[in-house]
Structure 1
């Protein structure tokens, strides 16, 4: 009885913080099943014996008590691509009732952060917006400085974080396309600055949507402020490799073409004459 009251109270809080509206991700609807248990890492166990990994999110410090609202509930799995991960778990969006998905609820409470992937791309815009509101409100993990958004120009601060998943903000100073890879440099010296690398497989995804025009005209993206997320690594300075465009959020749009032209005609630096940095070894 006490557990039921606790879950009912939590459901009420969620409804107040994040009103029910359903979810907009156009994913493939899968099967329905009853949730019989929740592991400490947030993996759901279904009554039919299957395990479910919540796709598209990361929970650095899972608080199981805060999403036991689905315990004993019938849920529907929705798939965006890969259905089974390498550990044999179903990789899915979990929907129940008429409200937002379980993933959205956890993101809204600051229990989870968004981890863009090829499977859940259709959900990313919505989830990133939900995460931004949770971060602005200082909910959950966003109260902890450990999960603060890092600065691209704080190289000394980024170095000790090698290998960890981070959010980093900065201004793109140059773009280079070399042998199928795209490099976003965040300072003048690519040998030491923070750099975001898009591998050839991911670069193909940047040829669609808003990124198509920007990547096709590098000066149009130079000067843009972005927030990028992924695992930090170190090679010629700290950096990240991204696989999907949703890992890079455009915060401040770059200078429109007409303003670039006007700046050049008025004797300003010819931004279109900027050359990409040399290829990395």
Structure 2
């Protein structure tokens, strides 16, 4: 069962709604579809946390990175989908399209809202609820950008409580100096935390360094064409030096452990003085 039938989450959403209205409250239905707000009944939820409506439309919830099977939990993805289905299957949801057309797999990216309880008149954001329950990690991107702070807070709460996927040691945040964990998780989506010790530039890329040994210590690569995205967002890459940051993305081990990022959404600035000390295991629940 999802945490307290989402009753606690509903209260939290009401408490923060004034600061995050667009993220916390469902959009008004627009029969003409001008604002992309619509309604539908959920028929099924799969292991990718994608929704299939009774009319056949497939929805991908913006901001959700669904779990994959792990050595200790080979059916983690299936169980997460089943938990979300236990809440949503047969329910009417309201959703707002975050793009004008479906992706190459026929999925519409959406912000979705559903009743927290069967008799509840108000609806809560599905992405926040799923993250709050540990059913997924936050997935950065343009579709989730307006609610990024809101969704990261929900993920942080689940991680602190070792809920859902966060109870699996495989999903622990990797400290930048934990070379053993890098070797085990090559070519998978990871979250890495550490202090930036240097910023290197050449004609093709900017690299955030997390140690003195290039090709051995962890690094973050920003290609030159993507540096412009950081600049347009008002982010000075040079100012990452000396800061503790959290980075999420695909771990590439071909030239030492590194993640290539394309925009600032994939990097979180952590409080000054906080050092990376990610545990190798998380408490089981």
Closer, same or farther in 2 for the Cα pair 1:83/1:180, shift >3 Å? farther
- Name the residue aligned to 1:260: none
> Which of these two proteins has the greater Rg computed from alpha carbons?
1
- Confirm or deny: 8 A CA contact 1:107 1:114 kept in the other structure: yes
The DSSP-based 3-state class of the residue aligned with 2:270 is: strand
Gaps of 5+ in 1: 1-8, 255-281
- Confirm or deny: 8 A CA contact 2:99 2:108 kept in the other structure: no
CA shift for structure 1 position 208: 4.3
The match for 1:245 among 264, 276, 282 is 264
Closer, same or farther in 2 for the Cα pair 1:118/1:180, shift >3 Å? farther
Closer, same or farther in 2 for the Cα pair 1:10/1:134, shift >3 Å? closer
d(CA) in 1 for partners of 2:220, 2:100: 26
| Residue 67 of structure 1 pairs with residue 91 of structure 2 | no
- Name the residue aligned to 1:48: 55
Q: State the superposition RMSD in angstroms.
A: 2.4
Closer, same or farther in 2 for the Cα pair 1:181/1:119, shift >3 Å? farther
Closer, same or farther in 2 for the Cα pair 1:50/1:80, shift >3 Å? closer
CA shift for structure 1 position 12: 4.7
- Confirm or deny: 8 A CA contact 1:118 1:244 kept in the other structure: no
The DSSP-based 3-state class of the residue aligned with 1:252 is: coil
| Residue 95 of structure 1 pairs with residue 123 of structure 2 | no
| Residue 226 of structure 1 pairs with residue 245 of structure 2 | yes
TM-score using structure 1 length? 0.77
- Name the residue aligned to 1:150: 174
d(CA) in 1 for partners of 2:191, 2:10: 24
- Name the residue aligned to 2:8: 16
- Name the residue aligned to 2:146: 122
How big is each residue's C-alpha offset from its partner over 1:119-170, in whole Å with a ceiling of 9 and x where there is no partner?
Answer: 2211212111110111011111111101001011122321221101111111
CA shift for structure 1 position 50: 1.1
- Confirm or deny: 8 A CA contact 2:2 2:133 kept in the other structure: no
TM-score using structure 2 length? 0.76
Count matched residues: 241
Closer, same or farther in 2 for the Cα pair 1:237/1:109, shift >3 Å? same
d(CA) in 2 for partners of 1:110, 1:201: 34
The match for 2:135 among 111, 122, 132 is 111
d(CA) in 2 for partners of 1:31, 1:225: 41
How big is each residue's C-alpha offset from its partner over 1:107-128, in whole Å with a ceiling of 9 and x where there is no partner?
Answer: 0001111010122211212111
CA shift for structure 1 position 238: 0.5
d(CA) in 2 for partners of 1:165, 1:91: 20
| Residue 84 of structure 1 pairs with residue 120 of structure 2 | no
Structure showing greater relative contact order (alpha-carbon pairs closer than 8 Å, 6 or more residues apart): 2
| Residue 193 of structure 1 pairs with residue 217 of structure 2 | yes
- Confirm or deny: 8 A CA contact 2:215 2:257 kept in the other structure: no
Gaps of 5+ in 2: 28-34, 68-75, 116-121, 274-285
